Amino acid sequence: MTLFLHGYYYSVYTRIARLALAEKGVTYEKVEVNPFATDCPPDYLELHPFRRVPTLVHGDFTLYETGAITRYIDRAFAGPPLQPASPRALARMDQIIGVVDAYTYWPLVRQVFVHDVFRPHTGGEIDPVERDKGLEEAARVLRALDALASGDACLCGPDVSLADFHLGAMVAYFVLSPRGAALLAEYRRLAAWWGRFGARPSLAATDPGLPVTQP
């Protein structure tokens, strides 16, 4: 059955889905959609009425919302389980994913990464106030996540889980900012986790890099 992932090259949420597919060893086809572009194809709204990425299309089954997509990937395909078996570890995984979606994406990615890395690199408009607000909020988020992290090899225990992909895709962008990297280093468990997770082959395989700019 055909499997398509509609996503944007630089999107962290698309990368989360790609991490799950890579760790599961599932092959798929990518369909590039830039939800930020004014010329985002109008028929994409038939797949995703909120015009976000990613969307997964598996045969006649269409699914959006990254948390639903990664859980579907884990349940529908063979490969290593990506969710812990114990009710408490699973609840912690769901909690961390919730915290990442609700409180982490905006400060780490849209405020710090965008204003301290992406726009300086691409010549876009930078707002240092926005960046600093992001750093302030990031401290609160990282403190909370540090308290939730298992202290084991991965966020929810010894094995990698969907929570690692959710947070990992965002931290990968955040630490490209020297200010972000310095802040992360203050949180012992998270910094140690990132030292391990940041070296996973799936992360390298899904690394979008930064856009090539004209000299």
Contact residues: ligand GSH, CB under 6 A? 8, 11-13, 35-36, 52-53, 65-67
Nearer to ligand GSH, 11 or 177 (CB): 11
Least distance (Å) between residue 90 CB and ligand GSH: 19
Least distance (Å) between residue 144 CB and ligand GSH: 19
DSSP class of residue 87? H
Nearer to ligand GSH, 77 or 106 (CB): 106
DSSP class of residue 57? E
Least distance (Å) between residue 38 CB and ligand GSH: 11
Which of 82, 67, 65, 68 is closest to 24 using CA atoms?
Answer: 82
Nearer to ligand GSH, 145 or 187 (CB): 145
Structure tokens, 83: 């969710």
Q: Measured between alpha carbons, how far is 156 from 154 in angstroms, rounded to an integer?
A: 6
Neighbours of 184 (CB within 10 A): 20
Nearer to ligand GSH, 66 or 206 (CB): 66
Least distance (Å) between residue 183 CB and ligand GSH: 21
Q: What does the DSSP assignment read for 46-96?
A: HH-TT--S-EEEETTEEEESHHHHHHHHHHHS-SS--S-SSHHHHHHHHHH
